[in-house]
Amino acid sequence: MSKLKHIRERRNLTQEELSDVSGVSVRTIQRIESGAEPSGQTRKLLSKALGVGSEKLLSLPETPNEAPTSLLKVLSMSALPFAVIPPANILIPLLIMAVKKQWSSDARQILSIQIVWTIGSAIFFMLAAFVKKGLFLGGNFMLLIMVFLVLANVGIVLRNTVEIDRKGKLFFHLGFNLI
């Protein structure tokens, strides 16, 4: 996808609407979105209409490795219905990534966060079981731990999804990818 098309779609504009706003013909917009280099005047008109710097339109097209934000939101939210079934909150996003053939760093980061969360919550749950046994805590303790872990996972998923929607990037980000 070309940078112009990406910016135009993020602004929810059709090629015809962008043409009307910018004064650039639809055919010229189509050629630029297909990879043609815009002239200086055309670049100025389009950048003014889109509210971006003209250097943004000169940027290279997005690499196929970059996932669109809509797909990142779907990947992030796909873990939500399965927050109480830890293996599914990994398998569903992995399945979506495989079907869509999107292995971008952000997509892999979403999956890595779910993997780390699943492993970490399993360890935390086991430690809580030992603490409960050692301290002779009541029967509701483990239920409270489970509710806490599920709510924390839901919070991570929702916060990342909101940040993807607002800024196009993840809020919670690991310094590494597991995939």
Q: Which residue has the tokens 């999804």?
A: 161
| Predicted pLDDT at 21 | 92
Global pTM?
0.59
| Predicted pLDDT at 66 | 57
CATH class, 3-58 region: mainly alpha
d(CA 134, CA 164): 43
3-state secondary structure 36-80: CCCCHHHHHHHHHHHCCCHHHHHCCCCCCCCCCHHHHHHHHHHCH
* Burial (Cβ within 10 Å: 0-12, 13-18, ≥19) of residue 8: buried
Chain segment 38-68, per-residue pLDDT in tens: 888 999 999 888 888 877 776 544 444 456 7
| Predicted pLDDT at 134 | 64
CB 72 within 8 A of CB 40: no
What pLDDT tens digit does each residue of the chain (179 aa) get?
578 888 888 888 899 999 999 999 999 999 988 888 888 899 999 988 888 887 777 654 444 445 677 888 888 898 888 878 878 888 888 898 888 888 888 888 999 999 998 999 889 988 888 777 666 666 677 888 888 988 999 999 999 999 988 888 888 888 888 88
| Predicted pLDDT at 155 | 93
CA terminus-to-terminus distance, the chain:
24
Give the start-to-end residue ranges of the domains of the chain: 3-58, 69-167
